[in-house]
Structure 1
Amino acid sequence: MSTLVAGLLAGLGIAMPVGAVGVYLVTLAAHRSVRVAACAALGVASADGVYAVVAVVGGRVVAQWAEAVAGPLQVVSVVALLAVGVKIAVDAIRLTRVSAETVHAPSDPSALRAYFSLLGLTLANPATIVYFVALVTGNRAGTADGAGLAVVFVVGVFVASAAWQLTLVTGGRMLAAIATGRRGRLVTSLAGSAVVIALAVATALG
């Protein structure tokens, strides 16, 4: 039970600070279907779970590798976030030029595409693996007592992260009530785009 709680707390610790991925998730939920947004949320949680597994298995060796490639990964992360921010804005502007019927019923990306897009975007953040390695090596959560507790720890991370990401999706769906009109969709999309781009710039400067 203590290992499960440790995993839940670790998952919440990495998931709750709302960064660019969280903002994108809320924007996606406001303008797309619940199914697509929920799959995207599970993509984020899966990335946290993957990094938790890598941390449990690899420990400090993985942390050293992550720090060594942090520079290139940061570049990838910045480019991906800028692309996401620009795409949100471009899609919003494009939709204002079509008929009202199309604005109210935009085509959704596939749920699988949304899942893997958010999975890849989250995996591009090297700070996540360093975070989990610090927890695992500091607390020996799941590493000293065998594979069983390691699995419990990882499950706790995934469940907590998924619960938080789905909470963000719920918040995004609440925004949908004011984002269904042409002007509301444009304003909320451009706001989300601006925040994502700003966070990308902050990541580059950081």
Structure 2
Amino acid sequence: MDIRFLVKGLIIGFSIAAPVGPIGILCIRRSLSEGYWVGFFTGLGAASADALYGFIAGFGLTLISNFLVSQQMGLKLIGGLFLCYLGLKTALAKPAESAATPSGKVVSAYASTFFLTVTNPMTILSFVAIFAGLGLGSTNNYWDAGILVLGVFLGSAFWWLILVSGVSLFRDKISADTLQWINRISGILILGFGLAALFSLTTKG
């Protein structure tokens, strides 16, 4: 096992996950409003999607990546509409009276961010560009490629673990009224990301 591929994957996964966008805002809001596990599985959904795209780029599956890139307008439309829906739902949501348990909302939390990340065409473009730039794409050594993808998942998951753990420290110190305002502000920001994605479709060509 070449540890260098694991380290490179960790750095790539962490770097792609870290910038705060709609997923980050959603993860923070859910951690505060619905508890640690819902927040963590929100991030884990994004980490799984990152690993999927890392798999496509790392194993040189150009047919799939080219198809996804060619369908980026449709993916952006779907993702933008879903962001608008999530934004409105978040803004109107009432703070949970208690933290959700692992058997509660974690599945829907995971699925929603996995879907959002997969429908973001910039994700696959980022992985293709990074892997190509580092000479990591289309490797003939599938073991190294697998280690690289594992590193991407662990790096992305590590970022979400750090974020959720940090945010959860403040949950008990925040009142219900403050959580309500966090819901509203987060919802507006997520809705803004969705509208921006939809608006970008009208500026092409």
What interval of TM-score do these two structures reach, taking the shorter chain for normalisation?
A: 0.7 to 0.9
Partner of residue 195, structure 2: 201
State how far apart, in whole Å, the 2-side matches of 1:3 and 1:115 are: 27
Structure 1 vs Structure 2 CA RMSD? 2.0
Match of 1:33 in 2: 35
Mapping of residues 8-87 of structure 1, within 5 Å = 8-87=10-89
CA contact (8 A) 1:27 1:172 kept: no
Question: Is the CA contact 1:48–1:158 (under 8 Å) kept in the aligned structure 2?
Answer: yes
Aligned to 1:98: none
- Count matched residues: 196
Aligned-partner Cα distance in 2 for 1:107–1:136? 38
Compare 111-120 and 53-62 and name the one that shifted more. Answer: 53-62
Q: Distance in 2 between matches of 1:175 and 1:199?
A: 26
Partner of 2:203 in structure 1? none
Which of 99, 104, 107 matches 2:97? 104
Q: Structure 2: 5+ residue runs without aligned partners?
A: 201-205
| Amino acid across the alignment from 1:172 | V
TM-score by length of 2: 0.86
| Shift in Å, 1:169 | 1.3
Alpha-carbon distance between aligned partners in 2 of 1:14 and 1:105, rounded to the nearest angstrom: 32
- Counterpart-to-counterpart distance in 2, 1:174 and 1:82: 29
Q: Is the 8 A contact 2:90 2:184 kept in 1?
A: yes
> Is the counterpart of residue 148 in structure 1 residue 143 in structure 2?
yes
2:5 to 3, 12, 15: 3
1:90-135 alpha-carbon deviations (Å, 9 max, x no partner):
113xx6xxxxxxx533766432222122211211111111111122
Contact map agreement 1:30 1:174 (CA 8 A) in 2? no
Letter in 2 for 1:88: T
- Structure 1: any 5+ residue segments left out of the alignment? 96-102
Code of the residue aligned with 2:106 in structure 1: it is: A
CA contact (8 A) 2:33 2:179 kept: yes
* Alpha carbons of structure 1 residues 59 and 159: separation in structure 2 relative to 1, 3 Å: same
- Aligned partners of 2:81, 2:149: CA distance in 1, in Å? 29
1:16-62 deviation per Cα after TM superposition (whole angstroms, max 9, x unaligned): 11110110010000011212222222111111001111112344433
Distance of 1:130 and 1:59 partners within structure 2? 13
Q: 1:125 aligns with which of 120, 123, 130?
A: 120
Alignment deviations for residues 149-188 of structure 1 (CA, whole Å, 9 cap, x no partner): 0011101100110011122212331342343x23112111
Q: Distance in 1 between matches of 2:173 and 2:78?
A: 34
4+ aligned runs moved over 6 Å, structure 1 = none
What does residue 183 of structure 2 align with?
A: 189
Output the CA distance in 1 between the equivalents of 2:58 and 2:67. Answer: 15
Identity %: 27
Greater helix proportion? 1
Checking the alignment, whether the CA contact within 8 Å between 1:142 and 1:152 is kept in structure 2 is no
